[in-house]
């Protein structure tokens, strides 16, 4: 399995790297660590406007070029340190989201930290990670700074019995078969009804087909209940399927999945429906 770990060298990214290394070992995969640098910034923090500066001062041109070379060297050294074992590291120059969307298409799984960089980001999902999840067709495991997970042994797969959820269950089942992971299949009932639980149990049993180590049905708000279930059953990640409804849904995910990724202390694996 080809696993991509984008990093911004933050603490949250390091938490995600630990899981990426663990999954790489469990899945006998290959890990590719990448950092996308938007553009070179001079010491003052102003954008590096090469053409104008070159015309103003050849000395300034040489100094800025030296700074760029030093920055590039330092970034590559940090990447080499993070790319342990047989992992590879890559420094890419460009717009982070566009480059990660391109690179993610060449991988089977993305593992990255999620944290907001602006009030707008926090209102939806969180920085580059959130925008990548909403647009890529590659499954993305997001890790928040509150996470205490250091290895992935058990996956909690949430289902609402939709086509998107079926895709998430299929992907999680393949991960489990390859990496020896345990599976827990769960459904959260939001409405009321005496027969709901029994009906859900039957549907979960049929969907599991003996693959799930445990089946759980609870009532309540999925955003609140799923992390609780994960804690109760010892799951290391919550797996959810994402529906796409034309162009707009490629920009904004369903509110439940969006809120779950933003609030869950347990890493969330979002599997886009293809």
Q: What is the pLDDT of residues 107-161, one digit of tens each?
A: 999 999 987 444 334 433 447 887 888 889 999 999 999 999 999 999 999 999 9
Residues 123 and 209 in one domain: no
Q: Which range has the worst mean pLDDT, 119-133, 170-184, 187-201?
A: 119-133
Residue 261 clears pLDDT 80, i.e. is over it: no
40 and 51 in contact (C-beta within 8 Å)?
Answer: no
Q: Is residue 53 part of a domain?
A: no
CATH number reported for the structural domain that contains residue 164 in this entry = 3.40.50.620
At residue 245, the pLDDT reads 55
Distance CA 69, CA 75 (A): 10
> Per residue in 60-97, pLDDT tens?
777 777 788 888 898 999 999 999 889 999 999 999 99
Tokens of 78: 């940090």
Residues 110 and 227 in one domain: no
Predicted confidence band at 170 (pLDDT cuts at 50, 70, 90)? very high
Q: Which letter does DSSP use for residue 265 in this model?
A: S
Q: Is residue 61 part of a domain?
A: no
Residues 129 and 170 in one domain: no
Average pLDDT, integer, range 28-51: 69
* Range of the structural domain that residue 238 is part of: 154-272
Predicted confidence band at 252 (pLDDT cuts at 50, 70, 90)? very low
Distance CA 5, CA 23 (A): 11
At residue 138, the pLDDT reads 96
265 and 146 in contact (C-beta within 8 Å)?
Answer: yes
Distance CA 225, CA 4 (A): 30
Residues 164 and 214 in one domain: yes
CA 203, 207, 208: angle at the middle one, nearest 5? 115
Residue 38's Cβ-side half-sphere holds a number of Cα atoms within 13 Å equal to: 9
More confident residue, 205 or 254: 205
Distance CA 145, CA 114 (A): 8
More confident residue, 191 or 13: 13
Residue 273 clears pLDDT 80, i.e. is over it: yes
Residues 112 and 198 in one domain: no
At residue 20, the pLDDT reads 98
Residues 126 and 166 in one domain: no
Q: Is residue 32 part of a domain?
A: yes
Residue 229 clears pLDDT 70, i.e. is over it: yes
236 and 110 in contact (C-beta within 8 Å)?
Answer: no
Last residue of a domain, one of 85, 112, 143: 143
Residue 76's Cβ-side half-sphere holds a number of Cα atoms within 13 Å equal to: 8
In three-state secondary structure terms, 269 is: strand
Last residue of a domain, one of 89, 117, 143: 143
Tokens of 97: 């989201």
Average pLDDT, integer, range 198-222: 94
Residues 167 and 257 in one domain: yes
Please give the tally of structural domains in the chain: 2
2 and 107 in contact (C-beta within 8 Å)?
Answer: yes
Burial, 85: exposed, middle or buried (Cβ in 10 Å; 0-12, 13-18, 19+)? exposed
Last residue of a domain, one of 118, 143, 168: 143
Q: Please report where in the chains the tokens 């790297």 appear, as a residue.
A: 17
Residues 208 and 125 in one domain: no
At residue 98, the pLDDT reads 92
> pLDDT above 90 covers what percent of the chain?
61
Residues 27 and 134 in one domain: yes
How high is the mean pLDDT of the chain?
Answer: 84
Residue 187 clears pLDDT 90, i.e. is over it: yes
Predicted confidence band at 264 (pLDDT cuts at 50, 70, 90)? confident
For residue 56, CA distances in Å to 68, 69, 70, 267 come to 18, 21, 22, 50
In three-state secondary structure terms, 181 is: coil
Residues 84 and 114 in one domain: yes
Residue 30 clears pLDDT 60, i.e. is over it: yes
Average pLDDT, integer, range 196-204: 90
Residue 183 clears pLDDT 90, i.e. is over it: yes
Predicted confidence band at 39 (pLDDT cuts at 50, 70, 90)? low
Its pTM stands at: 0.85
CB atoms within 10 A of CB 186: 25
């Amino acid at each position: 399995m080809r696993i991509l770990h984008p990093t911004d060298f933050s603490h949250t990214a390091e938490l995600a790297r630990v899981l990426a290394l663990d999954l790489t070992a469990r899945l006998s995969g290959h890990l590719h660590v990448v950092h996308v640098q938007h553009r070179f910034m001079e010491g003052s923090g102003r954008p590096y406007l090469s053409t104008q500066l070159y015309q103003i001062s050849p000395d300034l041109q040489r100094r800025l070029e030296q700074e760029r070379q030093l920055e590039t060297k330092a970034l590559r050294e940090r990447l080499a340190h993070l790319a342990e074992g047989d992992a590879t590291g890559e420094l890419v120059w460009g717009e982070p989201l566009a480059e990660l969307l391109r690179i993610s298409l060449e991988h089977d799984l993305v593992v990255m930290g999620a944290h907001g960089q602006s009030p707008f980001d926090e209102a939806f999902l969180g920085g580059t990670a959130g925008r990548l999840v909403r647009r890529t067709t590659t499954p993305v495991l997001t890790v928040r700074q509150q996470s205490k997970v250091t290895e992935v042994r058990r996956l909690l797969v949430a289902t609402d019995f939709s086509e998107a959820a079926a895709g998430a269950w299929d992907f999680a089942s393949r991960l489990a078969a390859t990496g020896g992971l345990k599976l827990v299949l769960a459904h959260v009932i939001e409405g009321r009804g005496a027969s709901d639980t029994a009906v859900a149990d039957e549907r979960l049993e049929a969907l599991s087909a003996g693959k799930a180590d445990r089946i759980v049905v609870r009532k309540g708000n999925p955003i609140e209940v799923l992390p609780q279930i994960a804690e109760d059953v010892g799951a290391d990640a919550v797996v959810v399927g994402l529906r796409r409804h034309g162009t707009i849904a490629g920009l904004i995910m369903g509110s439940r999945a969006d809120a779950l990724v933003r609030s869950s202390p347990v890493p969330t694996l979002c599997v886009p429906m293809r």
